[in-house]
Amino acid sequence: MSGVTLAGLFQDLKQRFAGASLHHPAADARILIAGLLGLSQTAFLSEPERLISTEDAARVDAAALRRLNREPVHRILGRREFYGLDFELSPETLEPRPDTEVLVEHILPHLSRIAARKGEARVLDLGTGTGAILLSLLKECPAATGTGVDISENALATATRNAGLLGLAARFTAIRSNWGEAVATRFDVIVSNPPYIPSRVVDALAPEVRLFDPRAALDGGEDGLDAYRRIALDAPGLLAADGIVALEIGFDQRLDVTDLMSRAGFALLEQACDYGGNDRVLIFTGHKGQA
């Protein structure tokens, strides 16, 4: 054993992170140690005198060096919780963020209504990444099946792995496609959290995002709206009658995205803000000429 206690390890890590001006030194230290050592939050808080082995102390120190290099805690751990579920991460997937849970919350009533009426519901996730949005919806709605689309093979492999770990493999399909290009069927719900940050802004983001999130999942083109233009183009041929399109947006994009979707024949059904009070979710319905 190293002679270091859990409490001592935590205090040391917290001080190192604070000294490097990381924004949340205590939370980062707690999450990193608990994740690496497989400790529940209860165990972490109730066993301060637990002795840490030399090997575990070395693992924590190696991880701490990565965090001091601004690699996010959940990237180091290789997983992150979203909507009460645990998702593996990979280099070509975004970390699922808490604000995106708002998107799931606002889709679920519509998905449940469609499933109750039809006996089933089909969901298409454009740019699925880890699969967090789609798999959370499938977990909450047993009558639903889903297709996750991504241009990245790495992302699709990660989403497929997450589906298996969550017991949802039988209701999940992965398709490699540039948005809806390779998708041939219609869906009751189309959902997307696309790249929406203007290109010029990406390089000014915090190092945790700029250096470790895949740029393709961040960069929305010159005005941040490229992906929404493509979704507006593809959605009419992919949405079933009485279906919905649910989108996550940037804080200042509500009017622009609503205009794009309106010009494509969709009507705004619902909008919602994130936990910080910023515009975050838009839900549309009613494309003219839907099948």
pTM of this prediction exceeds 0.85 = yes
> Which residues in the chain come in under a pLDDT of 50?
288-291
What is the structure's pLDDT at 287?
53
What is the structure's pLDDT at 286?
76
What is the structure's pLDDT at 32?
97
The mean pLDDT value of the chain amounts to 95
Task: Give CA–CA dist 224/198, Å, rounded.
Answer: 4
Judge whether 146 and 126 are in contact, CB under 8 Å. Answer: no
What is the structure's pLDDT at 289?
41
User: What's the alpha-carbon Rg for the chain, to the nearest Å?
Assistant: 21
What pLDDT, in 10s, does the model give residues 207-259? 999 999 999 999 999 999 999 999 999 999 999 999 999 999 999 999 999 99
What are the residues whose beta carbons fall under 8 Å from the beta carbon of 46, sequence distance 6 or more?
none
What is the structure's pLDDT at 2?
63
Judge whether 160 and 187 are in contact, CB under 8 Å. Answer: no
Judge whether 123 and 191 are in contact, CB under 8 Å. Answer: yes
